[in-house]
């Protein structure tokens, strides 16, 4: 996986390059995207070096990946966003440009959207907590829905300090399914909305690289 740019986000984290920081804790930083694709667009970035792409998720760092969802929720509180969209490009083949894990958080005026899907028979992965199945109306060659089974986790807004690993596991299952499918890269998407406005469970979309987006 050859990235052509350097890790500019490392310099921002160290305070050596400018950025409009909207949130920071010991583990994660969120700052405005320099080339926004919506009225609000931030990048949520882990501070730990060595997390280059979504392929770097493993059993020992699920909490860091889960924290990306938690920080998105914190940012939405700070910025008064009711709903937002999360997007991640994984690997250069998946459209990733900067070689450090980053989750895009965009306001709902970011046009691309994906509907949730009822469960289908084509199940790629299942354990006690999580299920991954093919979307009933795929928008690209491989379109997989990853869901948490716990009915308490209805929306991306249900992430807490106490369930970071469960949410981080969504990234791990995405990696695992992508490997089953032989994908060298992929894209991830989640629409985060209050329960009252949505009838479905947390839906994490895994999309093959042929899915076209602005990001």
Report the catalytic residues: 102
Least distance from C-beta 56 to ligand AMP, angstroms? 14
Q: From residue 62 to residue 101, what is the string marking binding to ligand AMP with x (rule CB under 6 A)?
A: ---------------------------x-----xxxx---
What are the Cα distances from residue 126, in Å, to 62, 79, 90, 135, 145?
Answer: 17, 36, 22, 15, 12
Starting from the edge strand earliest in sequence, which strands make up the sheet with 143-148, in order? 21-24, 28-32, 41-46, 103-107, 84-90, 186-192, 204-207, 143-148, 130-134, 123-126
Q: How many residues bind ligand AMP (CB under 6 A)?
A: 12
Q: Does 162 engage in binding with ligand AMP (CB under 6 A)?
A: no
Phi, psi of 99, deg, nearest 5: -80, 60
CA dihedral 159, 163, 166, 172 (to 10 degrees): 80
Segment interacting with ligand AMP (CB under 6 A) among 31-39, 56-64, 112-120, 132-140: 31-39
Least distance from C-beta 67 to ligand AMP, angstroms? 18
- Exactly one of 8, 10, 48, 139 binds ligand AMP (CB under 6 A); that residue is 8
What are the Cα distances from residue 109, in Å, to 63, 81, 160, 191?
Answer: 29, 11, 26, 12
> Which structure tokens are listed for 110?
């970011």
Q: Does 199 engage in binding with ligand AMP (CB under 6 A)?
A: no
- Exactly one of 2, 14, 16, 35 binds ligand AMP (CB under 6 A); that residue is 35
Segment interacting with ligand AMP (CB under 6 A) among 30-38, 76-84, 127-135, 201-209: 30-38
Q: Does 33 engage in binding with ligand AMP (CB under 6 A)?
A: yes
Return the closest-CA partner of residue 40 out of 66, 14, 78, 8: 78
Binding residues vs ligand AMP (CB under 6 A)? 8, 19, 33-35, 43, 89, 95-98, 215
């Amino acid at each position: 996986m050859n990235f052509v740019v350097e890790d500019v986000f490392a310099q921002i984290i160290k305070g050596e390059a400018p950025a409009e920081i909207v949130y920071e804790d010991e583990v994660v930083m969120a700052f405005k995207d320099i080339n926004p694709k919506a009225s609000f667009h931030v990048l949520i970035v882990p501070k730990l070096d060595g997390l280059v792409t979504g392929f770097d998720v493993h059993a020992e760092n699920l909490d860091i990946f889960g924290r990306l969802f938690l920080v998105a929720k914190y940012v939405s509180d700070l910025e008064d966003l009711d709903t937002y969209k999360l997007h991640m490009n994984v690997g250069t083949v998946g459209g990733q440009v900067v070689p450090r894990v980053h989750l895009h958080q965009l306001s709902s005026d970011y046009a691309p959207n994906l509907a949730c899907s009822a469960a289908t028979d084509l199940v790629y992965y299942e354990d006690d907590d999580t299920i991954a199945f093919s979307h009933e109306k795929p928008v690209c060659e491989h379109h997989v829905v990853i869901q948490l089974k716990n009915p308490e986790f209805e929306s991306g807004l249900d992430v807490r300090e106490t369930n970071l690993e469960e949410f981080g596991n969504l990234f791990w299952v995405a990696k695992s399914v992508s490997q089953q499918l032989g994908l060298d890269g992929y894209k991830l998407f989640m629409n985060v909305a209050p329960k009252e406005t949505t009838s479905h469970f947390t839906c994490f979309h895994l999309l093959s690289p042929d899915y076209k987006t602005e990001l």
